[in-house]
Structure 1
Amino acid sequence: MIADLARDLKREAERANQRRLLVLAGDRDRGIDAAYDAIEALDLDEETVSIVSTREGFRFERLAPRDADELLGRTREVVVLDCHDRFVPNALGRVAGAVDGGGLLVLSTPPLDEWPDRRDGFDESLAVPPFALVDVTGRFRERLVGTIRTHPGVAVVDLNATGPGAAGTGIAIERDGLTGSPPSRSRSPPGRPATATFPEAVYGSCLTADQSRAVRVLESLSTPGSAVVVESDRGRGKSSAAGLAAGALALAGSDVLVTAPAFRNAAEVFARAREVVDGVAIDPDGDRTIETSGGGRVRFAPPAIAAELPDEPDCAIVDEAAALPVRLLEGFLDAPAAAFCTTVHGYEGAGRGFSVRFRDRLAASDFVVRDVRLDEPIRYARDDPVESWVARALLLDARPAVSEAVAETTVGDVDYRALSPDELLANETLLGEAFGLLVAAHYRTEPNDLARLLDAPNLLARALVAGDRVVAVALCAREGGLDPGTRARMYEGERVRGNMVPDVLTSQLRDESAAEPRGLRTVRIAVHHAVRGRGLGSRLLERVHDEFAEEVDYFSVGFGATPRLLRFWRRAGYRSVHLSTTRNDASGEHSAVMLRPDDEAGRTLLDRHAVALRGRERDALSDAHRDVDADVVRGVLAACPASTAVDLTPHEWRAVVAASFGPGMYDVAPGAFRDLAIAALVGEGVESDGEDGGLDDREERLLVRKVLQGRPWEAVAEELGYVSTASCMRALGAAVEPLVERYGTDLALAERDRFVD
């Protein structure tokens, strides 16, 4: 029965050049046996089959669910996903993309009626303290089962069947998955465009007219001042087109810098580039660099490094650009030429977020921008049912409400609303708009996040709605409130899932009691792009604060620190307690943690960590934080509420006064200047914003760059626009004058009068 069904599905899939999904629902052992029966019935080369499972001992390639991304860029005739022990939504998205046209995706699942109520290894990851596994729900799988039972091209076999349909075998076909799709039409080779300059062999490697057109547009990367945006859904060949272009550019002697969220995301780029340079490559087998005999090369660098454009490449290619934050993408606007390749719908990143957040900046740059979109699938035909099923099941095509429906919305038009998981499960439009906003607002949203939204007991969603349209959404996590034993283990280095802020304060900053107060962390907050700048994000936070004021001791947030975000959270009442010493590999930013206390326990927690932050930064800014952006430093210190007393010795005051009002030198007492700079920039020290003896923006940046970060005079003068190092030195003295007036002792003021008079 299963063998016949597998053969029927495979024949139809091959005829239509599409894929089919076969779901084997029942006991795990029977499911694995049934998957073997299906594979053997197809008489396949074992090298074309992969099984993703926590079990071992298969004669086919076996990958653990956590390693499913190794299938990226590869094609298989059959992929079996064992969903019993640890069903990871991300793994489903990854393995489905590896199945070639004419192939089968096979899921071995628990009985479908029982699956939502079962708990597995992935569910354990959602049971974050103080919650237990029993608190995790099965809504994500309930929704998934619904799509399995209704979507075209999905065959379902019940391996635990009883009754007449089982025919004494215990097996019944619930759905045969056959669609009657017509045979696919053969593709004609696209050929080389008449105006093309890349070699004919490059275009001979293109499989669709879309791909050929993309390569033709990418030829413009040989001209400085050119930028290309390549957009497509998964499986359209954008990475292959980028790789063909990279190889051709390297053949012509160009230095091509390639980046992506991880090297595996760029594997197809390098594979196709190697094909182009085969025979003229010095190092064709190199992992992350291909060099040609003509002096060209294709090389990979991680995003945070690549954004600095190391060794001045001739052009840069950013693959899966939507999975990178705008701050990093902006670095590539300084390249001679650049291409941004992005998946419109996919777990790699949010194409909509890329288009909303970065395209305006690209359009405002000096680049001449060309756009190309690839619509025709490479490895399977249009209207492939497995592609549409995966998009539906994992909400890969989730998007916010259409702009026209919300464009006129103001703060006065919205209502605050709790988005309960049950309501999201019952309302597909509401779920799609809310999740679509979260996708568009963050550079890396995954299918796992959809499961967390629906099932994780520590998460909650709140929204502002205009009518029935979601215009802003916040995803929040309950943290802290942990028992003494858990707090002790955290202090001793054990990672406690789902408690990001308590973990940082306890394990990194050595505060064993930090996980005792109860917190509510804003994981993500998103406002519809059509209504940004109207106060909706602030209003949503206000309502969250009001709702949970009696339930938590503090509110918190952690994010990649930028001046804009620091200002936003500071205005919302949040205060700095931590700035990471290293940059996030993907975002390229230092992470900030901020708290907003809600009662005495929260205020006590904030006070002691604000004081600790002030003390750390006095030294860290000349060490681990020496390269942090000056405006990020200003933002972090401005939001640090630790009161600061300036306690200088008489000698230090004389040195400071002499360097600011008289003929003295900064180098005589750099520590004294550092204490004054910290006092001026921490908390209320920057509230005057240039009025009443305060400092202006450039003076504050001068204090950060020279006094706190200890950068050379020449570099500081050039960065801040001083005409010479001498004028920069004089400006530092002038910036310190109001600090003497504000913090100076009687001795210091008397010393000042000697020079003023």
Structure 2
Amino acid sequence: MPVDRVASALREEARATDERRLLVLAGEGDATREAAADALDAVDIDSRDVTYLGDSEGTPWERVQSARAGDLLGTTHGALVVDCHEACRPNALGRAVGAVDGGGLLVLCVPPLDSWPDRRDGFDETLAVPPFEVSEVAGNFRRRLVELLRAHPGIAVVDVGDGSVEPTVERDGLTDPAPRRPPDPPAVPDDPVFPAAVYERCRTDDQVSAVEALEALGDPGNAVVVEADRGRGKSSAAGLAAGALALAGRDVLVTAPGYPGAAEVFARAREVLVDAGSLASAPDESDPILLETARGRVRFEKPTAAAELPGDPDAVVVDEAAALPVRLLERFLDAPAAAFATTVHGYEGAGRGFSVRFRDRLDDGDFEVADVSMTDPIRYAAGDPVEVWAFRALLLDAGPAVDSLVEGADPADHGSIGYEAFEPEDLLADEHLLREVFGLLVAAHYRTEPSDLARLLDAPNVAVRALTHEGHVVSVALLAREGDLPADLRAHMYEGGRVRGNMIPDVLTSQLRDEAAGVPEGLRVLRIATHHAVRSRGLGSRLLSAIREEFADDADWLGTGYGATPELLRFWRANGFSTVHLSTTRNDASGEYSAVMLAPTSDAGRELADRHSRWLLDRVGAMLSDPLDDMDPDVVRAALRSVDAAPELGLSDWEWRLLVGTTGGAGIFDTSPRPLRRLTVRYLTDAGDETAGENADGEPSDPLLTPRQERLLVRKALQGRPWGAVAEELGFHSHGQCMRALGEATRPLVSRFGGPKVAAELERFE
């Protein structure tokens, strides 16, 4: 059967069911691309509605390079041709599946299926982290992919070889479904606040319900959470509501992890404004991130900028909210009204941080919260076989074990907890185990995506370790080997070159000018996650302890790098990790400054950690007064308490007299900030008795200073913030009261570190 006949039959069935179908063309690159062109010429899809995702030039369709697959977000196509010859990128595959409309075709051009898992491509090169070679990358992800392509309904497989012989049809992909009755059009709700024309653009009852709930954003004090799987029209609903709010004179601020993810919001908002004849600017794509009416507008900002609520918007719409960290989401709770639209299952991010931790804080806040769940697909019919295949192949719907199966996990009961090393072969042989491991990572981390599945199965430097309870995964860690680099690579990194992976050696070498940092070999904790039903029991710490014991003779250090929060800093510190670096720019995804921490396991690792701890203390005062002058003071406190070093004070007698003068509340601090800055750093890094033990809030149980006094020292002595700003932030009634409080906080420090000579000076001010 020729390829065009297979494609025509698939297309006919897809249109009849409003589903998608998948056509796999296996063979050599040019032959598969020519077969794709023949197939699409035979079906009734306008070539302008076909997009090619790949790296070959000269195809007859609009091209998107595979590395830029994110440009497909928010777009829909009649057909998408995905070329996997140069690189099979799991993230690109997921984005392509979601961009095909009902009745359309997804066409995969792939190498011969039997040999594809053993070939190495451009994506494999990204997994070959030095000193490993690309030949050491496994092909497990593609082996599993091939098995599922050959097993799932709705997928046709045609072997076109090198194009010199007649293609062989391995599967025709037809499902012979029963006829379906077209759904009734959704009805406009009674007495809507938004214009009826807005609701007439809705395509499902779910979308009507979502838009109706979003009417609440017209009044301050309301929040709406819209949750849905991909393809359910949540972004469209948000866009229709945003346009209606702008018509009513509201200023709507839209944010998402990237503008392409919010493009659908703006497309639908634009339609509303054009329909009403109220778009002040030309209705084209000249400025896609700003739509204005005579009284209202819809505008876009990146998440970290949007969290500052620039321009005092009337309402904020956060699209793909689960892809943002909790700490960044919390900042939107200061908006007058807010909507959080998010994907339940998908590579955009489905972190448990949103569905559990952030939702708790949202519900406990001042907003009146409404929830909307959207289940009806809007781009294609329910039960679409291509969606079912994609969810399984990329584990988009993977989740941890159900709560009842793990609730008895107790780290103190060594008989009920097992420590496991899961090899890729173990995970491939047990789909249930694979889904629990990956599902736990998805549920706990906003950045887990399909490419991480391939990394877990194929990367030669990655290892999986877990704790299990009665056969179910309760805590899991993804580990990456770094370091042990040859001299030429270390020199290349030192001179500004990039080396894949090796994040910690790279930072310590290129930014901190330590060419020897790549000599020791370490294990970086890429991800660590504990089942939400058994958090706060010490399972994560138990897992790290077991990892440290296992690799004590096989690595020089354990390390981690992450967006720093007080809670995370305390967790890692409690497990023996020390801060060696703080980034000077915020991470676009997390909105936090990052911390790099090490836990040495050998003399070489200890030497590395010790020198970088000392260097951090040498420079941290200057960093905090300049690039880190807006770092959260609680992050500063926790980060400095996590440093395994204490700076020499090196203060002169005169500087001690200045400090004693400051204790009286006089404005002496402003004349010479250096002494109190050094004293504050020494206090926060000191391992004295006052930091032994913690209370329920994670604060020292017997502190020398209160948390408020420490925040005052951080904001004023370390970060040099203006007196007025510090007084307002920390709740002092006046500039003068804030100055006196600084003196009161300084006195116990001078008394502790100043010695007998300073004690005599202090007595003069009793």
**TMscore range, shorter length:** over 0.9
The whole-number CA distance in structure 2 between the counterparts of 1:201 and 1:581 is 49
Per-residue CA deviations over 1:242-277 (Å, capped at 9, x if unaligned) read 000000001001111111000110000001101111
1:343: which partner in 2? 343
How far residue 187 of structure 1 moved from its aligned partner, in angstroms, is 2.7
Return the letter of the residue paired with 1:86.
A
How far residue 622 of structure 1 moved from its aligned partner, in angstroms, is 0.8
The reply to whether residue 298 of structure 1 matches residue 298 of structure 2 is yes
Pairing 1:260-659 to 2, within 5 Å after superposition: 260-278=256-274, 279-283=277-281, 284-285=283-284, 286-293=287-294, 295-350=295-350, 352-411=352-411, 412=413, 413-659=416-662
Q: Please tell me whether the aligned partners of residues 563 and 635 of structure 1 are also in contact (alpha carbons under 8 angstroms).
A: yes
SS at match of 2:212: helix
Q: Please tell me whether the aligned partners of residues 207 and 374 of structure 2 are also in contact (alpha carbons under 8 angstroms).
A: yes
Return the letter of the residue paired with 1:370.
A
TM score, norm. by length of structure 1: 0.97
2:695: which partner in 1? none
How far residue 659 of structure 1 moved from its aligned partner, in angstroms, is 1.9
How far residue 296 of structure 1 moved from its aligned partner, in angstroms, is 0.8
The whole-number CA distance in structure 2 between the counterparts of 1:622 and 1:92 is 45
The whole-number CA distance in structure 2 between the counterparts of 1:656 and 1:597 is 37
Q: Please tell me whether the aligned partners of residues 352 and 445 of structure 2 are also in contact (alpha carbons under 8 angstroms).
A: no
Pairing 1:207-286 to 2, within 5 Å after superposition: 207-278=203-274, 279-283=277-281, 284-285=283-284, 286=287
How far residue 488 of structure 1 moved from its aligned partner, in angstroms, is 0.3
SS at match of 1:231: strand
Return the letter of the residue paired with 1:270.
F
Per-residue CA deviations over 1:138-191 (Å, capped at 9, x if unaligned) read 000010011001001111112239xxxx9x944211111000012332232212
Name the stretch that deviates more: 426-435 or 39-48.
Answer: 39-48
Alpha carbons of structure 1 residues 375 and 693: separation in structure 2 relative to 1, 3 Å: closer
The whole-number CA distance in structure 1 between the counterparts of 2:67 and 2:57 is 14
SS at match of 2:651: coil
- Out of 665, 671, 674, the residue aligned to residue 671 of structure 1 is 674
The whole-number CA distance in structure 1 between the counterparts of 2:367 and 2:451 is 37
How far residue 99 of structure 1 moved from its aligned partner, in angstroms, is 1.2
2:19: which partner in 1? 18
How far residue 78 of structure 1 moved from its aligned partner, in angstroms, is 1.5
Alpha carbons of structure 1 residues 668 and 276: separation in structure 2 relative to 1, 3 Å: same
- Out of 701, 706, 717, the residue aligned to residue 727 of structure 2 is 717
Per-residue CA deviations over 1:655-682 (Å, capped at 9, x if unaligned) read 2112215867222321111111111112
Per-residue CA deviations over 1:371-394 (Å, capped at 9, x if unaligned) read 111111112111110011111110
The reply to whether residue 97 of structure 1 matches residue 95 of structure 2 is no
Q: Please tell me whether the aligned partners of residues 690 and 696 of structure 1 are also in contact (alpha carbons under 8 angstroms).
A: no
The reply to whether residue 734 of structure 1 matches residue 732 of structure 2 is no
Return the letter of the residue paired with 1:303.
P
The whole-number CA distance in structure 1 between the counterparts of 2:535 and 2:355 is 15
- Aligned-residue RMSD, C-alpha: 1.6
Name the stretch that deviates more: 501-510 or 642-651.
Answer: 642-651
The whole-number CA distance in structure 1 between the counterparts of 2:702 and 2:297 is 57
Q: Please tell me whether the aligned partners of residues 221 and 366 of structure 2 are also in contact (alpha carbons under 8 angstroms).
A: yes
TM score, norm. by length of structure 2: 0.96
- Out of 687, 710, 721, the residue aligned to residue 691 of structure 2 is 687
The whole-number CA distance in structure 1 between the counterparts of 2:170 and 2:176 is 17
SS at match of 1:651: helix
Return the letter of the residue paired with 2:219.
T
Alpha carbons of structure 1 residues 630 and 692: separation in structure 2 relative to 1, 3 Å: closer
Alpha carbons of structure 1 residues 693 and 121: separation in structure 2 relative to 1, 3 Å: closer
Q: Please tell me whether the aligned partners of residues 79 and 107 of structure 2 are also in contact (alpha carbons under 8 angstroms).
A: yes
The whole-number CA distance in structure 2 between the counterparts of 1:23 and 1:694 is 68
Runs of 4+ deviating beyond 3 Å: 661-664, 688-693
SS at match of 1:348: coil
How far residue 747 of structure 1 moved from its aligned partner, in angstroms, is 3.4
How far residue 642 of structure 1 moved from its aligned partner, in angstroms, is 1.9
Per-residue CA deviations over 1:497-554 (Å, capped at 9, x if unaligned) read 1100000000011100001001111011000000001110100100000000101111
The whole-number CA distance in structure 2 between the counterparts of 1:617 and 1:313 is 36
SS at match of 1:742: helix
SS at match of 2:349: coil
How far residue 353 of structure 1 moved from its aligned partner, in angstroms, is 4.5
Alpha carbons of structure 1 residues 368 and 747: separation in structure 2 relative to 1, 3 Å: same
The whole-number CA distance in structure 1 between the counterparts of 2:167 and 2:529 is 47
Q: Please tell me whether the aligned partners of residues 184 and 381 of structure 1 are also in contact (alpha carbons under 8 angstroms).
A: no
The whole-number CA distance in structure 2 between the counterparts of 1:574 and 1:352 is 25
Alpha carbons of structure 1 residues 692 and 437: separation in structure 2 relative to 1, 3 Å: closer
How many percent identity over aligned positions? 59
Return the letter of the residue paired with 2:450.
P
Q: Please tell me whether the aligned partners of residues 578 and 597 of structure 2 are also in contact (alpha carbons under 8 angstroms).
A: yes
Name the stretch that deviates more: 184-193 or 682-691.
Answer: 682-691
The whole-number CA distance in structure 2 between the counterparts of 1:606 and 1:355 is 37
The reply to whether residue 124 of structure 1 matches residue 117 of structure 2 is no
Q: Please tell me whether the aligned partners of residues 19 and 384 of structure 1 are also in contact (alpha carbons under 8 angstroms).
A: yes
SS at match of 1:159: strand
The reply to whether residue 697 of structure 1 matches residue 707 of structure 2 is yes
Q: Which runs of 5+ in 1 are unaligned?
A: none
Q: Please tell me whether the aligned partners of residues 479 and 520 of structure 1 are also in contact (alpha carbons under 8 angstroms).
A: yes
The whole-number CA distance in structure 2 between the counterparts of 1:560 and 1:445 is 15
The whole-number CA distance in structure 2 between the counterparts of 1:244 and 1:73 is 14
Return the letter of the residue paired with 2:744.
A
The reply to whether residue 114 of structure 1 matches residue 107 of structure 2 is no
1:34: which partner in 2? 35
Number of equivalences: 750
Return the letter of the residue paired with 2:50.
V
The whole-number CA distance in structure 1 between the counterparts of 2:102 and 2:317 is 28
Return the letter of the residue paired with 2:606.
R
The whole-number CA distance in structure 2 between the counterparts of 1:560 and 1:353 is 14
Name the stretch that deviates more: 184-193 or 95-104.
Answer: 184-193
The whole-number CA distance in structure 2 between the counterparts of 1:692 and 1:561 is 24
Return the letter of the residue paired with 1:301.
E
The whole-number CA distance in structure 2 between the counterparts of 1:654 and 1:51 is 73
The whole-number CA distance in structure 1 between the counterparts of 2:218 and 2:408 is 44
How far residue 691 of structure 1 moved from its aligned partner, in angstroms, is 7.7
The whole-number CA distance in structure 1 between the counterparts of 2:258 and 2:666 is 54
How far residue 408 of structure 1 moved from its aligned partner, in angstroms, is 2.6
Pairing 1:109-188 to 2, within 5 Å after superposition: 109-160=110-161, 169-188=165-184
Q: Please tell me whether the aligned partners of residues 479 and 524 of structure 2 are also in contact (alpha carbons under 8 angstroms).
A: yes
Alpha carbons of structure 1 residues 52 and 148: separation in structure 2 relative to 1, 3 Å: same
How far residue 312 of structure 1 moved from its aligned partner, in angstroms, is 1.6
Per-residue CA deviations over 1:346-366 (Å, capped at 9, x if unaligned) read 111116542123211111111
The whole-number CA distance in structure 2 between the counterparts of 1:690 and 1:754 is 31
2:696: which partner in 1? none
2:89: which partner in 1? 88
SS at match of 2:10: helix
The reply to whether residue 708 of structure 1 matches residue 708 of structure 2 is no
Q: Please tell me whether the aligned partners of residues 351 and 446 of structure 2 are also in contact (alpha carbons under 8 angstroms).
A: no
Per-residue CA deviations over 1:573-630 (Å, capped at 9, x if unaligned) read 0000111101011211000000011111111111111111111111111100000000
